[in-house]
Structure 1
């Protein structure tokens, strides 16, 4: 009898893809490290295409298509973006329940995104363990748990300190996740999010897309804080080099430049001479940010790839102020600059020998991809947990250089040009440290700590299945 796992990602590419990569790793665990594994992935119709390369590589992975969630309401009492939907519609819940109850071999565990705290109750009611999948790191997860459990409040100009966390970090109020800041204490919507966060804290276990050599202090903190050892660091969860079965090149959406064209362009560049600039799958620059960025790239004289989003889904920029690449920009940087509009093949780009620096919004997927490639990280966080990740990169790991902070600190073109050029130096301390961490990342997923945690996770799930102990 196989170990059947239901995986429920939050329905955006940045959350779906790492969970699919995790499924791919579980399905290809060596025997007898794991019993036979089957995975069902909940997916919405518009995201079904993301499963195509994974479905082609394994018959043990199947989709469960549910309707898209209702759009979140936009708070009116505070300025800010809409908050992420966490609860599904009643029809989706009913369909999921009927599927679960009628399946000839129902799942023995639910692995779901940390935005979906309600699935803890869903799994508990069916007598199976729920495991939180955190697409963020252990540092950000520790901050999130402390926020929603303790509910600290502050003013815009004040700092919130986390005295119980390692290194006692503190953050300006504006650097905390917006979904926490936009609600007043006691707001019913805030209480719903807190209930989901507590569901994450109370869940049976947590799988973190990180590795011991990167965040050991925060992983140990989570184990102590939660009162159990069921915290598995299994990252970096990335496709292996040369592994086409997981679709490492075509992983997101349409692009103005094919992956082969991008890699051919990079092939013509000297080693470590290119700055890659990308702000993730959701963040979009406003016009002022874009103008300074473009001017800085032009004046720096460095080779670069710029991934420019053309629509805003992340909520940080009003639709009327989406930053367009200046009309004459590409002509001015011809020969040393490549502009990609749409999805960029980020993992192959960062792994290419020509890329030495990554200017990033510090989303966790991008953070791990940059660290794994040994790139110097220029940080420009925009929201969510990105300010936490930037602090980790700059202050704790020593691989990052601060460039900007959302709309608050937009770098001037002259200073940005200087930092871009400086970041490509081969003897830069951040580069030396980045190469060290890259080696540690590779060790973790080549028989090291992350591989051991992944095998231990499957062993624990299988033991729970066999014991039929319904104490979750």
Structure 2
């Protein structure tokens, strides 16, 4: 195609696998819809997993133009205990002025620009100079986005009501609101306060979701029930896991799963950022053994994988390691989660309810036992629970609030694995997910319409 007819979309993700992975899947989706894609990647990455994923993506999609965006280092006076991913969000925001020459140099001219939800305010004036539509990719649920967009209507955090009523969506108890919003001057809280009032200035919001999962929230958002003059919210999911995401596990854990009976395994993983405390890790191991179920457990006790060098014996204790051997496999490395969830041996998923994990479970039709730890995860767990294909133990609290004992964990796992109604509903959600990306499905229609809009812009340049 001649440059004059190319639909060119630039994508700017933020820090962490939970933000990078959906952007790369969106990039793959846009390529399939005959768009030329430029991926602007903030450097350095926080984790090795991010850098490895980018390398594999580049190998699989050599036609995607990948541009490095070198960010200003964090302030030296930042406390060492601060979350490294939140620090990177702040560093990218501080470096946003460096984007202008990058975007201006892109060829052919841009038709659209999609950037991360954590960068709304600092990137907005730059995006506004491009003369093309600009959008954010909101890397959580439409239900969480309804809370995010409604946030400017709420009182100060210290005066939050016991229950926050989101018009047309749901009632969110105070206990489900992300804890950092209650902390004065937290990085996370400041992002909310600064960015959420500016949503009406965007041309649209992309969310990795679909009608069959969040019809009520999507309808409320797009009909102006939550916030008047909100731009269109496009359900462009479910983002399908891609071939480039597969990692060489040297035979495990997939080989181990191949040896297990169909529908006998519970998969346990709390995502790329959640690091449980040592006591909680050992209680979780005890609970999995007590459940009597076969299990595949991805264990993590450091937020950043570059810091994680301890062996399993030291982390779990030799006695627990011995008890696990009979029915379980424990790994510490990054795994191909979508392939694990799609394996015929896997029947259930103990999850933190990070949104990427929820969508992957929906795509594979796997019931969830939710154990939210941080951020948006209780609101996401409520989406799963209300949809009828998962449960969550609300009294287990946030990360670190209490150590949940092995007896409780074992009983909850056993209940989830034996609940036939959860499995039936999960299969229905799986069918809805696949309809969304088929011909005439919501995701396909949204992207086709957007591409037609972008083609008009190309003709007018």
The structure carrying a bigger helix percent of its residues is: 2
Q: Which runs of 5+ in 2 are unaligned?
A: 306-313
Structure-1 residue corresponding to 2:238: 236
Q: Tell me the CA shift for residue 273 of structure 1.
A: 0.5
Structure-1 residue corresponding to 2:177: 176
In the superposition, relative to structure 1, how do residues 275 and 70 fare at CA in structure 2: closer, same or farther (>3 Å)?
Answer: same
In the superposition, relative to structure 1, how do residues 298 and 38 fare at CA in structure 2: closer, same or farther (>3 Å)?
Answer: closer
Q: Which runs of 5+ in 1 are unaligned?
A: 251-256, 315-322
- Aligned counterpart in structure 1 of residue 57 of structure 2, from 54, 62, 79: 54
SS at match of 1:446: coil
**When the two structures are superposed, what TM-score results if normalisation uses the length of structure 2?**
0.86
In the superposition, relative to structure 1, how do residues 74 and 453 fare at CA in structure 2: closer, same or farther (>3 Å)?
Answer: farther
SS at match of 1:5: strand
SS at match of 2:239: coil
Query: Does the 8 A contact of 2:263 with 2:345 survive in 1?
Result: yes
Query: Root-mean-square deviation (CA), in Å?
Result: 2.9
- Aligned counterpart in structure 2 of residue 162 of structure 1, from 125, 145, 165: 165
Q: Tell me the CA shift for residue 149 of structure 1.
A: 4.5
Query: Does the 8 A contact of 1:69 with 1:85 survive in 2?
Result: no
Cα distance between partner residues in 2 of 1:295 and 1:188: 35
- Aligned counterpart in structure 2 of residue 463 of structure 1, from 439, 456, 460: 456
| Number of residue pairs aligned between Structure 1 and Structure 2 | 436
- 2:113 corresponds to 1:105: no
Cα distance between partner residues in 2 of 1:191 and 1:337: 42
Cα distance between partner residues in 2 of 1:339 and 1:372: 24
Cα distance between partner residues in 2 of 1:326 and 1:270: 28
Q: How does 1:90-239 map to 2 (within 5 A)?
A: 92-117=95-120, 118-154=122-158, 159-167=162-170, 169-172=171-174, 174-183=175-184, 193-223=192-222, 224=224, 225=227, 227=229, 230-239=232-241
**When the two structures are superposed, what TM-score results if normalisation uses the length of structure 1?**
0.84
SS at match of 2:408: helix
Q: Tell me the CA shift for residue 110 of structure 1.
A: 1.4
Query: Does the 8 A contact of 2:40 with 2:69 survive in 1?
Result: no
SS at match of 1:440: helix
- 2:452 corresponds to 1:451: no
Cα distance between partner residues in 1 of 2:71 and 2:216: 38
Cα distance between partner residues in 2 of 1:379 and 1:288: 19
Q: How does 1:69-468 map to 2 (within 5 A)?
A: 69-71=72-74, 83=86, 85-88=88-91, 92-117=95-120, 118-154=122-158, 159-167=162-170, 169-172=171-174, 174-183=175-184, 193-223=192-222, 224=224, 225=227, 227=229, 230-239=232-241, 244=243, 247-250=244-247, 258=249, 260-313=251-304, 324-394=315-385, 396-403=386-393, 404-406=396-398, 407-408=400-401, 410-425=403-418, 428-447=420-439, 448-467=441-460
